[in-house]
A = this chain, B = another copy of it.
Amino acid sequence: MRCEIIAVGTELLMGQIVNTNGAEIARELAGLGVGVYYQTMVGDNGERLAEVFSIALKRADLVILCGGLGPTNDDLTRETVAHVLGLPLEQNEFWVEKLHEFFGRFGRPVIPSNLRQAMLPQGAKLLPNDRGTAPGIYLEHGQNIIVLLPGPPGELLPMFRAQVLPLLRERLAQEDNLAVLQSKILRISGLGESVVAERLKDVLEKQHNPTIAPLARGGLEVHLRLTARAASPAEAARLLEEKAEEIRCILGDYIYGEDAEGLEYSVARLLWQKKLTIAVAESCSGGLLSHRLTAVPGSSLYLMAGLVTYSNEAKIDLLGVDPQLIARHGAVSREVALQMATGARRTGKAHIGMGITGIAGPDGGTAEKPVGLTYIALAADGREYCRELNFWGSRGEIKERAAQTALHLLRLFLLGKLS
């Protein structure tokens, strides 16, 4: 079954609201094996809505319209759908009664504009709305299924889940067409998108079921989205796991995790397993590494201390960095990064210390030490490492890349692969 979602509303089109309904509905439909092939957004304009709806009827089996069911004059979805399908609108007495009840509670009469919300295209099924005055509409018409839902996510999503999904499931079962679409995301750190594509060339070219989509995440990570279609959830899970294992054999440790969990979760698991603690000293990243390390519930077990030492004075006082070293090499240098790492380790009484120093910009760069130059050091029992990096981007992006790279290096260290 092919689906098109149409979101109706000038405020969406003008960017005053971001449309999240489409994404939510698409995710829910995937669970039934229904693919969304198009999503369209159109303003509160009858003519353009009619045009968009007519196109959708031709290219999709299931057309879901969101929004434009309100009581005001610019809410046109109900009337436009009926008009395009050539169906008369009929008053639904059950909903008229509901409206009287609803407004009665506030001591107000039902005005004609509200009564419009009780009108349904002939042959349609009313979908009650517990949270508002606009009911939804479900209609089978020729080869198409047409669903209308009110725009506010707080009304739309519960109605979609409780009422529309069961109707669709029933229909798909009748058609013997009930499939399952399941996804798994493999998260990769330390390889660029094109290198990932190169290494997985054969796997990507042979892909069929599951499908595999690589996705760059702002230069920091690559995600591989595996999507399997199967007759049952167990079968889909088996297909996904089989393909994931094949990819794991190729990419190895570059895959650090799955689905929603960021790099800090992988690092946290390794620290827990090895019963190791960490303390971090941050200059240019300004606390972001601490913030990410503490995003994980239970992080108090491994994070002994985080120190944001922007000034030279703080580096000297809190971390014991040698002032002469700063004078000789500058605060942004390999030497200072290493002393920050050992200082954080000592101050925080931790197994591992990390130090980050760099130039986040936009000012402070020179020809010799440009904005983005960053040193990340790690000190552990008897071992010291430091990397020089050149990050690009805005101040915020440089902070993000510094924190992400520090997590990446920490993970490599915990895996025994940092050299």
- In the complex, per-residue mask of A51-62: 1 if CB is within 8 Å of any chain B CB, else 0: 110010001000
Question: With an 8 A cutoff between CB atoms, is A390 at the interface?
Answer: yes
Question: With an 8 A cutoff between CB atoms, is A183 at the interface?
Answer: yes
**In the complex, which of the residues B291, B297, B393 contacts A131, with contact meaning CB atoms closer than 8 Å?**
B393
Copies in the complex: 2
- In the complex, per-residue mask of A106-140: 1 if CB is within 8 Å of any chain B CB, else 0: 00100101100000000000000011110000000
Question: With an 8 A cutoff between CB atoms, is A177 at the interface?
Answer: no
- In the complex, per-residue mask of A331-370: 1 if CB is within 8 Å of any chain B CB, else 0: 0000000000000000111000000000011110000000
A303 to chain B, nearest CB (A): 5
- Residues B218 and A154 in contact, CB atoms below 8 Å apart: yes
- Residues B15 and A294 in contact, CB atoms below 8 Å apart: no
Q: Which residues of B contact A305 (CB under 8 A)?
A: 307-311, 314, 318
- Residues B74 and A194 in contact, CB atoms below 8 Å apart: no
- Residues B314 and A310 in contact, CB atoms below 8 Å apart: no
Stretch touching chain B among A83-91, A209-217, A228-236, A405-413: A209-217
- Residues A13 and B41 in contact, CB atoms below 8 Å apart: no
- Chain A residues within 8 Å of B, Cβ to Cβ: 10-20, 22-27, 30, 35-44, 48, 51-52, 55, 59, 70-74, 105, 108, 111, 113-114, 130-133, 152, 154, 183, 185, 193-195, 197-198, 204-205, 213-216, 218-219, 225, 227, 282, 285-291, 293-295, 297-300, 303-311, 313-314, 317-318, 347-349, 360-363, 390, 392-393, 395-397, 399
